[in-house]
Structures are given as C-alpha cells and as structure tokens.
Amino acid sequence: MKLWTKNFSIVAIGSFISALGSASAGIGFGILIYTETKSPLNLAIFTIANIIPRVITNFLVGPFVDRNSRKKIIVTIDYIYAILFSIIALVLFQGYFNVLVFTIVGSVFAILDTLYQTAFMSLFPEVISEGNHSKAYSISSLIWPISAAIMAPIAAYFIENFTFGVAILMSFNAITFLVTATIELGINLEEKLNTKKTTRLQFIEDIKEGIKYYKVEKGILGIGILFSAFAFVYAAQDLLRMPYFVNSETLTLQHFSFIISAGAIGRMIGGVIHYAFKYPASKKFLIAVSVYITVEILSGTMLFMPYPVMIAFSFIVGLLSVTSFNIRMTATQLYIPSHMRGRINSTQTLLWNIGTILGCLIIGFIATYSTIDYRLILLGVTSVSLGAVFLIPIRMKEEFKKIYNRDV
C-alpha cells in the first residue's frame, strides 16, 4: 500500500505548516523572556510554569483522548492557537511585557498542548497504511528539523533587527495554525477508540488499566524513565546554551541560530536515510544504545569546542537523534494497543515533564547563584543521561529488545 494517502498527506503537510510557526514562536518566547529579565532562573521558572500544568493534566487527558475523536481535538486546538497567538501578537505590538503575565500565558498553552500532543501521537499511527510505519515516522522526524533549520536564522534576524520582531513571529505563528486547522478538516478516518461502557467510576478504571499495563510491560516503563533522565539533561541544555551565546564576547544570537540549523539539517539528512534504508530488526536495540551514548557525549562537550566544531557536533547530534526517535517511536507506538495509546502516551509525557522540571529548577538555581561556567555545568549534567543509559536499557536489555527489535 502507498504511504502518501489523503489522510497521511493532510497530517504531514499540516504538521509542517504549523511547525514553521511553532519553531519561530518557540525561539521568540525564550529570547524574549531572557533578554527582558537577564536571568537564567526566570527563564527556568517560565519553562517550569509551562510544564507543571502538563504534569497535572497528563493523567486526565489520556482517558479523554482514548474515548473521543482525536481529529476533532487537534482541529479545535489549532483554531484556538490561531486566536491566542493573534492576541499575543497584538499585545506585543503595543510594547507590553510582563514576565508574570507571559508566564501565566505559557501555562495556558501547556494545558492545550498536553491535550494536543497526546491526541496527535495517538492519531498519527491510524493514518499510516500497513507496512509503512518506519517510513512514516521518518517523514515525521523531518518536519521539525526542516522547520527549525528554516526558521531559526529568520527568527534571530527579526529579533535582532526589528523592534517588534517577536510580535511579527507570533503573527506568523497564528497564520500557520489557522491554515493547518483548515487543512485538517479534510481528514476522513474511522478512529479506533475506547468504547467500553462508561460508569461514574470508569475514568478511574481507565487510569488503573493504564497503570496495570506498566506492571506487565516493564520495558515501556523503562523507556519512560530513561527519557525522563534525558529530559533533565535537555532542559539544562535548552536553559544555558542560548544565554551562553548572548553573554559571549565573540559569539552572537545569530551564531546560536546556526547551531540550531546545523542540528536541524542533521536531523533532515537522518530522516532521509531512514526513509530510504531500513535497519535490521535484530540490531535496533544495539544501534539505539550506541546512539544514546554518542549523542550525550557530543552534546555535553559541544560548547568547549571551536565554533566550526560546535557546528559539526550539532549536525552529528541531529543526524543520530533521528535514529533514536525513529526506532523508539515506530517500536513503541505499534507495541502499545491502540485503545490504550492515549493513556500510555500521556504517562510517558508525564515522566518526560518531571525530568524537565527537575532539570530547570536545579540547573536554573546553579546557573543563577553560582559562578560556575555554563559549559562546566552542562558537562557535569551529562553524567545523568550517561548513567541512565547504563542503568536502564543496558541493564534491561531483554525487555528493551522485545520492543525495539521488531520489523515494522
């Protein structure tokens, strides 16, 4: 069967359009908070405020997504995003900024995004034709890198050269969500939902069923904990890399944008490789673990390198990260039963968010209240992710192999 069916094409094209706006807005928000406050801790608090609502709502959205149309959820939220980002753009064009207000706004977006991401992750496997899941997730892995590669330098240029650069980026984001939502109306799919008879206590029973699944499938739980540790480290990297470039005497925000683009280009090429070639099923676990170790070492040492080497490291990290993404997503999303996918995905996201919160809090305080070089902090944090690789997938290799080493 062909991959590019009507439903898959709509989802892929719509995702790419909205990703262009999201990439520019995401860069804009982070830079806006840091440049206005000059504090890594304030940036960390903004990030945490964006995550805490996700933690609170994660358990709630899973059962809801499993019982309701995923298409209707993502289309509705995309239209809401278009409205909200239009309002934010208008406010910024008026020159208004208040860190508390924008932190609260970030929390509102977090609630919407938790529901959206869980619904999207649960819908995506349903629009893929049989036998094409590896290629489909290769395409999915290309969407954000291409968007970031295109928009990072553009976003940095607008922010550095226009008084209302961030407002312009927010306006663009609003337009992309409006277009995406309209396109997604054309999805025509009979969704596989949880149709068990509901009672007043069914919501609690749905959650219990998800918890029981983890007791049986320890490999899925292990993956969640592993990526929680990775999230701790990624939070530190996201928190300190941009300020490192902003505060540098020789490097600029534009240099930072090229680091982002290099990683994105690496992901693009990695996605193309995955689309064209299929890894042997029996080697996927070994490949994944090797990638985890290599990526963490390169990421932790990147800022110590001369700028051209930073670019090269970022490119390699992007290239290899797609391998991790593709193996994990194709394996887990097909391994988890469709009627439970919403609950399990929401719990995995919960674990990721817990890691991110801890990373932001701990690293934010260290960076703000110590004189330790940001590069040394990031190097030290790498021990968390490397330790997790040896303690979880390597120690639980049989459980991981059962999930990873599948022909999909």
Note the pLDDT tens digit of each residue in 339-348.
777 777 777 7
User: In angstroms, rounded to a whole number, what is the distance separating the alpha carbons of residues 291 and 324?
Assistant: 7
Q: Which amino acid would we find at residue 41?
A: L
The single-letter DSSP state of residue 5 is -
What CA–CA distance (Å, rounded) separates 54 from 114? Answer: 6
Displacement of CA 261 from its chain's centroid (Å): 16
Q: Are 271 and 138 in contact (CB under 8 A)?
A: yes
Residue 209 has pLDDT above 80, yes or no: no
Of 348, 319, 332, 345, the C-alpha closest to 408 is: 332
Average pLDDT, the chain: 85
pLDDT of residue 367 exceeding 70:
yes
Residue 38 has pLDDT above 70, yes or no: yes
CA 397, CA 219: separation in Å to the nearest integer?
9
pTM higher than the cut 0.75:
no
Q: Which pLDDT does position 202 carry in this prediction? A: 58
Mean predicted confidence (pLDDT) in 366-377: 91
Q: Is 1 exposed, middle or buried (0-12, 13-18, 19+ CB in 10 A)?
A: exposed
**In b/e form, how buried is each residue of 26-45, taking b as 16+ CB within 10 angstroms?**
bbbbbbbbbbeeebbbbbbb
Choose between 317 and 210: higher pLDDT: 317
What single string gives the DSSP state of each residue in 203-234? HHHHHHHHHHHHHH-HHHHHHHHHHHHHHHHH
Q: Is the pLDDT of residue 54 over 60?
A: yes
Task: State residue 271's pLDDT score.
Answer: 78
| Rounded Cα–Cα distance for residues 228 and 392 (Å) | 11
Distance CA 4, CA 20 (A): 21
pLDDT at residue 313, as a whole number:
95
How many Cα atoms occupy the beta-carbon half-sphere of 373 within 13 Å?
A: 7
Half-sphere exposure of 240 (CA within 13 A, CB side): 29
In angstroms, rounded to a whole number, what is the distance separating the alpha carbons of residues 210 and 204? Answer: 10
Give residues with Cβ within 8 angstroms of 30, minimum separation 6. Answer: 43, 238, 242
pLDDT score, position 404: 86
Asked if 239 and 43 count as a contact pair (C-beta separation under 8 A), the reply is yes
Short-list 138, 64, 50, CA closest to 346: 64
Rounded mean pLDDT of 35-61? 78
What mean pLDDT comes out for the span 300-323?
Answer: 92
Domain topology for 6-185+201-404: Growth Hormone; Chain: A; (1.20.1250)
Output the pLDDT for position 198.
58
The residue that leads in pLDDT, 291 or 194, is: 291
> What sign for the dihedral angle of Cα 51, 56, 57, 59?
positive
In the chain, where the domains are located:
6-185+201-404
Mean pLDDT of 1-11: 88
The stretch 15-44 carries a mean pLDDT of 83
Q: What span, in angstroms and rounded, lies between the C-alpha atoms of 147 and 140?
A: 12
Model pLDDT, residue 206:
61
Which helix (DSSP H) or strand (DSSP E) does residue 185 occupy? none
Place of tokens 């990031």: 378
What is the spatial distance between Cα 252 and Cα 233, in angstroms, rounded to a whole number? 23
Q: What is the mean predicted confidence (pLDDT) over 212-239?
A: 86
Ranges 55-64, 83-92, 130-139, 354-363: which has the least confidence: 55-64
Query: What does the pLDDT read at residue 200?
Result: 55
